[in-house]
């Protein structure tokens, strides 16, 4: 089975042919760690989590790197506002980011490089560009990349042909040779600036150089490419990815990536998510209200390339849809997991091989749920059937990252710890009443729980409950 992806540069779907047979190297542009993760970060992380899961399911050995930008103007501003150190700020937000990603089921990256831990690689790449005449120093010590040295500059984004657009996006600096040139290294401005010492002027790296240097540091690639797939949000295509590509091309004489994939924006009520608009929806706040797996299911419900309009109404509709999967799983409580149905497995994989068509995959799952329930109604004692259905659900969990939770606990969401303790106490009292053959008391307790919105299910493993 071949995997097709939409290449952002070629602007068409192409068959994935890796640099090395049955190996896939992926680099995802990660967050700048000065604040909590928002839904835009979640959407990007989930998109390429699906990519890793799909390629792994197809038998590829996948190595995925996701960086942390831990030195940046925004971080420096945060330091000034908080009076905390660089490490205190960045370590705090890295930990928060990873916690949030864990909550929505994003697999940890195989490599998690930080800019501050890659300074030698950054220094080496900048020096190489200087030696080749592709970079130059300004009087203030800043080092800039000379875009005129690369005839292919603009080939990634196809955007720099519009000089007005280019100039509106890039700050004009005295001493720059070309408007499109960008900073590789920013020299120290004063004693309060955060700077690093090496063979370059005392200072810190520009934003674009860190990704090029990290990729060169951790991936060997071949004579033509450093990695197979470079991923990130659509807003990074220009100038960030364009500049990454040109740096690598000039420093290493090869392309940074064979393929490029970009996820769409997240909008709320039709507006692009942006702090400048004041409508950034932090993931941590959503997780206080909604289960992380539900948020995951909702955010992957449409293709990663499409823009996503976050709607609370649609989120609740997604819960009803996901509940059906857990209702099916609940019917099989206590059954051992069997082998996934091959036809179902291939249908899911074929959907995901079509440029991660998760919406089609979910429709296939809906059909499987309906068919499984119908079969169970007819063959309630068919052990092989039950085990196979659980095998299907297990494969869904492996491929899409949903459906792995305990089916009983899934329907206990939204109940406080205090109420859970009360419910468990009443269930225990009911159990004692039944043992004493006081069935009137047992029924009264069941009715009391029902009035609290709690439904009981007596199973071979004891009495289970759920919120209705």
Q: How far is CA 408 from CA 151, 227, 289, 292, 333, in A?
A: 61, 43, 19, 17, 8
pLDDT of 82: 93
pLDDT of 278: 61
Give the residue from 445, 23, 407 showing the smallest Cα distance to 456: 445
Q: CB–CB of 19/225 below 8 Å?
A: yes
Backbone angles phi, psi at 80, to 5 degrees: -65, -40
SS3 of 145, please? Answer: strand
Report, in angstroms and rounded to the nearest whole number, the Rg of the chain calculated over CA atoms.
27
Percent of residues, the chain, with pLDDT higher than 70: 95
pLDDT of 173: 62
Does pLDDT of 359 surpass 80? yes
Residue 242 CB-density burial (10 A; 0-12 exposed, 13-18 middle, 19+ buried): buried
What is the band of 165 on the pLDDT scale with cuts at 50, 70, 90?
very low
Among 65-79, 157-171, 328-342, the least confident range: 157-171
Q: Where are the beta strands (DSSP E) in 354-467?
A: 454-459, 462-467
Which H/E stretch holds residue 76? Answer: helix 73-82
pLDDT of 218: 98
375 or 408, higher pLDDT: 375
Summarize the confidence of residues 177-181 as an average pLDDT: 94
pLDDT digits (tens, 9 = 90+) for 229-269: 999 999 999 999 999 999 999 999 999 999 999 999 998 87
pLDDT digits (tens, 9 = 90+) for 414-458: 888 898 999 999 999 999 999 999 989 999 999 999 998 898 888
Mean per-residue pLDDT of the chain: 93
Give the residue from 188, 197, 200 showing the smallest Cα distance to 127: 200
pLDDT digits (tens, 9 = 90+) for 372-404: 999 999 999 999 999 999 999 999 999 999 999
pLDDT of 162: 45
Among 8-22, 137-151, 371-385, 418-432, the least confident range: 418-432
pLDDT of 279: 63
Tokens of 238: 């220009």
pTM value?
0.92
Following CA atoms 27, 31, 37, 43 in sequence, which dihedral angle do they give, to the nearest 10 degrees?
-30
Match 């994003």 to its residue by tokens. Answer: 106
pLDDT of 160: 60
Does pLDDT of 295 surpass 70? yes
Q: CB–CB of 13/5 below 8 Å?
A: yes
């Amino acid at each position: 089975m071949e995997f097709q992806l939409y290449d952002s540069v070629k602007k068409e779907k192409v068959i994935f042919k890796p640099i090395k047979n049955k190996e896939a190297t992926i680099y995802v542009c990660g967050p700048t760690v000065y604040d909590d993760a928002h839904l835009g970060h979640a959407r990007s992380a989930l998109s390429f989590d699906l990519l890793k899961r799909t390629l792994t399911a197809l038998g590829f050995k996948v190595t995925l790197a996701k960086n942390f930008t831990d030195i940046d103007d925004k971080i420096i501003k945060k330091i000034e506002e908080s009076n905390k150190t660089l490490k205190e700020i960045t370590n705090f937000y890295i930990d928060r980011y990873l916690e949030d990603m864990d909550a929505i089921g994003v697999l940890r990256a195989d490599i998690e490089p930080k800019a501050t831990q890659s300074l030698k690689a950054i220094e080496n790449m900048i020096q190489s560009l200087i030696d080749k005449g592709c970079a130059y120093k300004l009087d203030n010590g800043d080092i800039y990349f000379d875009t005129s040295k690369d005839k292919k500059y603009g080939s990634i984004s196809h955007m720099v042909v519009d000089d007005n657009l280019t100039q509106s996006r890039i700050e004009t600096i005295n001493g720059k040779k070309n408007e499109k040139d960008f900073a590789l290294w920013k020299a120290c401005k004063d004693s309060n600036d955060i700077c690093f010492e090496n063979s370059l002027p005392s200072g810190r790296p520009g934003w674009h150089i860190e990704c090029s240097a990290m990729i060169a540091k951790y991936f060997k690639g071949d004579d033509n490419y450093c990695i197979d797939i470079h991923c990130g949000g659509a807003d990074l295509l220009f100038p960030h990815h364009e500049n990454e590509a040109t740096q690598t091309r000039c420093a290493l004489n090869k392309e940074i990536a064979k393929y490029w994939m970009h996820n769409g924006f997240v909008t709320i009520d039709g507006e692009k998510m942006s702090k400048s608009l004041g409508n950034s929806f932090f993931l941590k706040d959503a997780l206080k209200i909604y289960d992380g797996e539900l948020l995951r299911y909702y955010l992957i419900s449409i293709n990663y390339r499409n823009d996503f309009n976050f709607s609370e109404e649609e989120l609740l509709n997604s819960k009803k849809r996901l509940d059906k999967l857990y209702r099916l799983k609940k019917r099989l409580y206590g059954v051992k997991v069997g082998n996934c149905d091959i036809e179902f497995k291939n249908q899911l994989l074929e959907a995901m091989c079509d440029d991660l068509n998760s919406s089609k995959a979910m429709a296939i799952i809906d059909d499987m749920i309906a068919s499984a329930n119908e079969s169970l109604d007819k063959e309630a004692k068919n052990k092989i059937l039950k085990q196979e259905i659980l095998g299907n659900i297990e494969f869904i969990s492996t491929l899409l990252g949903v459906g792995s939770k305990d089916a009983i606990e899934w329907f206990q969401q939204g109940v406080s710890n205090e109420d859970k303790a009360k419910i468990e106490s009443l269930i225990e009292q009911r159990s004692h009443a039944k043992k004493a053959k006081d069935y009137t008391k047992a029924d009264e307790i069941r009715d009391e729980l029902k009035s609290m919105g709690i439904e009981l299910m007596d199973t071979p493993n004891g009495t289970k409950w759920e919120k209705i």
